[in-house]
Amino acid sequence: MTQWADWFAMNGDGVFVWPCYIVTVLVLVGNLLIATRNRRRLLEDIRLQIPMENSR
Amino acid sequence: MNAFMNWFYRMASPPHFYRWSGTAIPWFLVPATVLAVIGLYLALVTSPTDYQMGDTVRIMYVHVPVAWLSLMCYTSMAVASAIGLIWRIKLAHAVAAAIAPAGASLTALALFTGSLWGKPTWGTYWVWDARLTSYLMLLFLFAGFALLRNAFSDVQRGDRAAAILAIVGVVNIPIIHYSVNWWNTLHQPASFSVTKGQAGIDSSMLWPLFTMLFAVTLYLVALVLMRTRNEVLIRERRKAWIKEVLVK
């Protein structure tokens, strides 16, 4: 258990190291989620626009 | 040459691109995830601590890949912009537009991780030295590109204006790269160089670094493909081929 705690603490450097890794992972994954959400919205918008154009 | 140009134009046609990119994305995303898991293990568990920097050296395994690739993003964005301007290929502008936010996020990450590395090693989060200042300009260039592109109601005009900014801004790339040699910066010069080899860094640190670099590279290809597909959907939404996409 102390082994894990030691590893996590990184001799006091953990406060600098962990935020770097956590924020990087969050931003990189966030980029993918945003791209996926935008794609879903765009396809929905296009779907709504097609029947209107056909009825004209 | 003609055969190549024909192939190039065919791959760059929006419907064709939309189809092949959809198949290609998982082929980049899956290996990227596997490499990232291996890279994180090497970086956080097995790699040694530095005799001067201690455990903060582990910041290198995220800081260096995102910083390198942000420069690569900018260069690719400028090349895509130039192709779009010269050959009037719409897809090239879509690629440039897709790269900008990805590059901006990597630049922000490099600044963030760099300042968290600076505090324990230099005693400060930020200093206005040549490397850090020229690198901050990169973030403004990415942001300027996106803002300029969105400032026009006409997509094509926005594309062209932003493309010119991207090409002019390329001068900043060699400035960032050589800033550590040209000026006396607090930021250290490169530890690794393609021409001089790995002299400045041990292989126990080089492996995690390269694993992370490849992981983020593959991730970026996937992200840019995903974002380019969205750009294609925006630009082509009134075209007939889009209906085929919706049926699936």
Q: Domain-by-domain residue ranges, chain B? A: 32-247
CB B237 within 8 A of CB B50: no
Inter-chain CB pairs, A–B, below 8 Å = 82
Q: How many whole angstroms separate alpha carbon B9 and alpha carbon B193?
A: 36
> Total domain count for chain A?
1
CB A15 within 8 A of CB B116: no
Which positions in chain A touch B102 (Cβ < 8 Å)?
Answer: 31
Domain that holds residue A24: 2-55
- In A, minimum Cα distance to B233 occurs at A42
Name the residue among A11, A16, A31 with its Cβ closest to that of B116: A16
| Interface ipTM > 0.90 | yes
Whether B55 and A39 lie within 8 Å, measured CB to CB: no
- In A, minimum Cα distance to B226 occurs at A35
pLDDT tens string B171-188: 999 999 999 989 888 898
Tell me, what's the pLDDT at B120? 93
CATH classification number, B32-247, choose in 3.90.1070, 1.10.760, 1.20.120, 1.20.140: 1.20.120
Tell me, what's the pLDDT at B238? 87
Q: Does B83 touch chain A (CB under 8 A)?
A: no
As given in the structure block, the two tokens for residue A50 are 């097609």
CA distance A33 to chain B (A): 10
- Give me the half-sphere count of Cα atoms (radius 13 Å) on the Cβ side of residue B169: 29
Residue B54 confidence class, pLDDT cut points 50, 70, 90: confident
Whether A16 and B227 lie within 8 Å, measured CB to CB: no
Which positions in chain A touch B246 (Cβ < 8 Å)?
Answer: 43, 46-47, 50
pTM for the model: 0.92
Tell me, what's the pLDDT at B140? 98
Q: How many whole angstroms separate alpha carbon B89 and alpha carbon B82?
A: 10
Whether A42 and B237 lie within 8 Å, measured CB to CB: yes
Residue A54 confidence class, pLDDT cut points 50, 70, 90: low
Task: List residues bridging with B197 in a β-sheet.
Answer: B193
CA distance A38 to chain B (A): 7
